[in-house]
Structure 1
Amino acid sequence: MNKHIDSEISVKRLHKDVDFVHKKIFKLHPDLDRYITKEKLTFKFDSLKKSIQQPLKPNAFFFGISQVVGSIRQGHATIQPLQKQYTTKELKILNKRGKSPLSLLSYAFVNEELLIAKNFGKDSTLKVGTVIKSVAGITPQFLYTKYRKTEASDGYNTTYFQRGFARKFNTLLNLERPMADSIPIVFSYKDSIFEKTLTRTSEKAKVKKKSDKETKVAPVVVSKEAKEKQLLAKKALEKKKKIFGYDEVRKEFTRHLSYIPSDSSIAVLKIKSFTGGKEKVAYAHIFKEIEQKKVKSLVIDLRNNGGGSLPEIINLYRYIGQDFTTFVDTMKVTNRTGVVYNRYRNVPKTAMVIASPLITYLAVKELCSIKKSPFGYYYQKSKLTKRIQPRDNNFQGNVYVLINGASFSASAVFSANLKHLKRATFIGEETGGASKSTVAGVLPIMRLPHSKLKLRFGLMEIAVPHKTTVEGHGVYPDITLLPTKEDFEKNSDPELEWVIQKENELKAK
């Protein structure tokens, strides 16, 4: 694959790849003409073919085909460029050298400046709010301009792009420059510009060699009881990681419950993603604790949550929504076999052979669940579309939801339902995911036959039953707040601070 990245592909074969994408999308995408007519989309595919007059390398071809797919204006529909591949042996060598220093940073793109939003490493000189001016001579602004049109948000939304760019900065940077052990970076902090070379080894603690003159320190004797206590604590932590989900690089739980230091009656549930962990057990623990602590107000932080599992957001909703309701509408598909076949498209062949009896059973069962409606479209019967019942320990207090442009897919579906029922106050900015529906569910990856680029799009239209009159936009906040560069420098959180101030006002009445 690495050799293929630098190989030119003939015009004829590139045209075949364009036809491949055209055919797959028209055959399998269940909501293709929501934001563009099929005639206009076909014209774009034809125009792309006419524009290809000479052989191109795969990632040069990527810029053209990705913009055509992006014109569908549905964020799950993407073309992915080729990345350099590493063997298992090469990855082991890289890991021994230490983690990439950029993987220990998260970013925010504010007013066309890339800021350090969090530093998960040990380098204390890289403060939150520091501006990254350039990396190995490449500016963030260059990357943003170059790749801006290679992906789409849902509909006409614009808040997604800057948030999405901040999340994908490291990936885009790797497309422009090969992975290296040391990276020269120019920073700016409070108008002071400085340059620093970050290395893989910079994040590892340096072991000081003892000289012959140094006094040897006697080893600390740990009692048997202390060892057992440490072992139990380690097992408890590992169990918690499995239940709540955990990022080993950034040392963060996927689902984390905390409390406002000055007021323990306000709980903050930060959900980084609706994936990983054992969500049913996690939420059972979380809402049991909320009940025991007599929490009166709950903040659900969905900022930068890119989505995930539909069953998970339905389960979470049962702890918050106070009425019997239908959470999602009929899930539309284009035909009876497309979803079933493509669900297992990316399963390794060995696993397919080993699990063939189970996969056959599940495939037949799913095939039987896909029906044709009297109106001519196909849909999948699912328990997820049935009316849901609130939990017995359903939270009854005030609910606030923090959202931003990177709140996408399942995050937007969850928010749209809460918004319609007026169950929560929303603070932040418009979600990147649409408020009416998302096309996801099954998201197979299809390799283009000649360029080997990856095509990915959803096969199921998942719509909320209660739709707004606004077309092509996300869930709007009740209170619009955007963090500034100064907020990052002061390590302040204006969205959360608004909630605290609001709660104080309510208590003062």
Structure 2
Amino acid sequence: MQKIIVFLLFPLFLQAQKSKDTFSPEEIRADMAFLKKKFEKIHPGMYYYMSREAYNKVYDSLYNSINQPLNYLETFRVLSQLVTNVKDGHTNLRYDKKRFNKKNAKFVPFYLRKIDKNYYLALNYSADSTIIRGSEVLAFNDEPIGQLIQKLKVFVSSDNGNEHVKDYYTLSAFPTYFKRYFGEVDSIKISYRLPKNDTIFYKKVACQTNVEILKIDKKRYKNLNRPNLSLKILDSVNHIAKLDITEFTMSGKFLDFSNQKFKRVLRVRFKTIKDIKVEHLIVDFRANGGGFIPNISRFLKYLSPKPFTLVDTLALKKKAYFTLFKPYYFGPPLTMWLGFMKREGEFMYRVNKRNDKQKPEKQLGYRGKTYFLTDPGCYSATTFTLNLAKDLGIPEKIIGQQVGGASWGSFAVNWQDFKLPNSKFIVHTPLMKISHNLPNNINKDFFLQPDYEVNRNREELLKNNTSVVDFTVEMIRQSKAIRER
């Protein structure tokens, strides 16, 4: 009879575990210890940007502060600090998918932008279209916006604690980070001022699902979208065109794991660039968070006048070897050991000895002048591309804002997602350290800096123009006029 009762009650026990809302201090501390031990074992960037001593101080302070049970969101905030203090942009903490990533989950319908010291509405996906772009946002749910943004930054991971990146993503992904802090809400109160109006308005608006947001986006902000690999002529007289690369990923519908679609579309674009005789090519990388690494060389082959190699070294922790190459895989656990022959401390390395593996495109290679547009959203494969291009001497100028990723390389390539034992939060962790091949060592900055810093402004929120594009086009026109005098 006892066995029958246990059998009948077991599903109820599992359901109770899934819907657990509160965690004891012992459970939270156990998750903290598990997380730290796992990072020390497999994360190639653990203690790279933050020393072991400094990290331990953060860990001990959080560990000792937990003296009472915490709810689901409070626990998430605590554990997030252990993740973001690794100071790696590829490392993050996520909710249990079954709980908070529901298909019809609702999000705050606003995206923001900081200009000088104030915050403005960049996109409004609420049903109320009278809250226009460029309105100054003062508060949400009566909490001052500056104070709220500081709270949300705890969730943003960035290379070496890059504050520009933390500001950028907290605002450009405001609905996501708001949800991580407060959970899902049905509505939100916004306090704001309309442009050229000192009156403070207060409105309560309904939150929206992703499906609802996409419908409004197509109607309200169609002209603001930048399709990946889109090409546009900006000035036919001066032969100026702009190529948008919003991500280094574009795959076809049928198991296109190697991104052949990106390769095909890119070739079509450079054929057009050649046919219309573009002399000045602006490549807009803004908000490009990265993608498929082989697409870097596919792109740079059209611009580079000489052969090049992408990677200088690949490294992983010895203790992470069988996490990456599973013992039950056939072949890789044995063969890959030979590919990482160099040993140094807790790492094993693969070193590239040749610097000319990628050959320039002969038929459609572009030899005109190139200008790159950047912002803190440039990360991972994009930072890789920008630094390698600068080392090759490709861009005439880089215009915009400091990029988000480190110049030397990143912790990336392969990942493991592991689950914490009590809270069930998912930790996204890179397994390799990849160093860019930069033999000329032209860039001395830890984060690639623009030649001309051009920040976003309020006018472009009101008029839907783009200040950095306008600046670059005008700079090209003036330089041509000077040469023709």
CA distance in 1, matches of 2:57, 2:306: 47
Counterpart of 2:262 in structure 1 is: 279
Q: Deviations over 1:151-210 (max 9, x none)?
A: 33212532212111112200122235554665543332214343445455998999xxxx
**In the alignment, is residue 290 of structure 1 matched against residue 273 of structure 2?**
yes
**In the alignment, is residue 341 of structure 1 matched against residue 323 of structure 2?**
yes
Counterpart of 1:409 in structure 2 is: 380
State the Cα distance separating 1:124 from its structure 2 match: 5.4
Write the mapping of 1:162-241 to structure 2, written as runs, cut at 5 A: 162-177=167-182, 179=184, 183-192=188-197, 193-199=200-206
Counterpart of 1:389 in structure 2 is: 359
CA distance in 2, matches of 1:267, 1:469: 26
State TM-score, norm by structure 2.
Answer: 0.79
Q: Deviations over 1:95-116 (max 9, x none)?
A: xxxx9682xx643233344333
Counterpart of 1:355 in structure 2 is: none
Q: Deviations over 1:4-36 (max 9, x none)?
A: 676222222222211111111111122333322
Q: Which amino acid aligns with 2:232?
A: S
Check the 8 A contact 2:23/2:75 in 1, yes or no: no
% same residue: 24
**In the alignment, is residue 148 of structure 1 matched against residue 153 of structure 2?**
yes
CA distance in 2, matches of 1:489, 1:470: 37
Check the 8 A contact 2:125/2:213 in 1, yes or no: no
Q: Which amino acid aligns with 2:340?
A: K
**1:24 match: secondary structure:** helix
CA distance in 2, matches of 1:55, 1:364: 43
**2:240 match: secondary structure:** strand
Structure 2: runs of 5 or more not aligned: 1-14, 252-260
Q: Which amino acid aligns with 1:434?
A: A
Counterpart of 1:241 in structure 2 is: none
Counterpart of 1:33 in structure 2 is: 47
Counterpart of 1:354 in structure 2 is: none
Q: Which amino acid aligns with 1:125?
A: T
Check the 8 A contact 2:108/2:178 in 1, yes or no: no
**1:26 match: secondary structure:** helix
CA distance in 1, matches of 2:335, 2:227: 33
CA distance in 1, matches of 2:422, 2:63: 15
CA distance in 1, matches of 2:51, 2:325: 27
Counterpart of 1:160 in structure 2 is: 165
Pick aligned residue for 2:424 from 448, 452, 459: 452
Counterpart of 2:230 in structure 1 is: 256
State the Cα distance separating 1:80 from its structure 2 match: 3.2
Distance change >3 Å, CA 339–CA 112, structure 1 → 2:
farther
Counterpart of 2:476 in structure 1 is: 503
Check the 8 A contact 2:245/2:285 in 1, yes or no: yes
**2:159 match: secondary structure:** coil
Q: Which amino acid aligns with 1:298?
A: L
Counterpart of 1:209 in structure 2 is: none
**1:186 match: secondary structure:** strand
**In the alignment, is residue 268 of structure 1 matched against residue 239 of structure 2?**
no
Q: Which amino acid aligns with 2:401?
A: E
Alignment RMSD (CA, Å) = 3.8
Q: Which amino acid aligns with 1:15?
A: R
Distance change >3 Å, CA 499–CA 203, structure 1 → 2:
closer
State TM-score, norm by structure 1.
Answer: 0.76
Q: Deviations over 1:333-390 (max 9, x none)?
A: 112x736635889xxxxxxxxxxxxx94585587456422154631357899872111
CA distance in 2, matches of 1:301, 1:366: 40
Counterpart of 1:373 in structure 2 is: 342
Counterpart of 2:3 in structure 1 is: none
Counterpart of 2:59 in structure 1 is: 45
Q: Deviations over 1:422-467 (max 9, x none)?
A: 3111111111111111111112221111122222221111111225
Write the mapping of 1:311-330 to structure 2, written as runs, cut at 5 A: 311-330=294-313
Counterpart of 1:442 in structure 2 is: 414
Counterpart of 1:399 in structure 2 is: 370
Q: Which amino acid aligns with 1:12?
A: E
Pick aligned residue for 1:423 from 394, 412, 416: 394
CA distance in 2, matches of 1:203, 1:409: 27
CA distance in 1, matches of 2:90, 2:43: 11
Check the 8 A contact 1:26/1:32 in 2, yes or no: yes
Distance change >3 Å, CA 447–CA 191, structure 1 → 2:
farther
Structure 1: runs of 5 or more not aligned: 207-246, 346-358
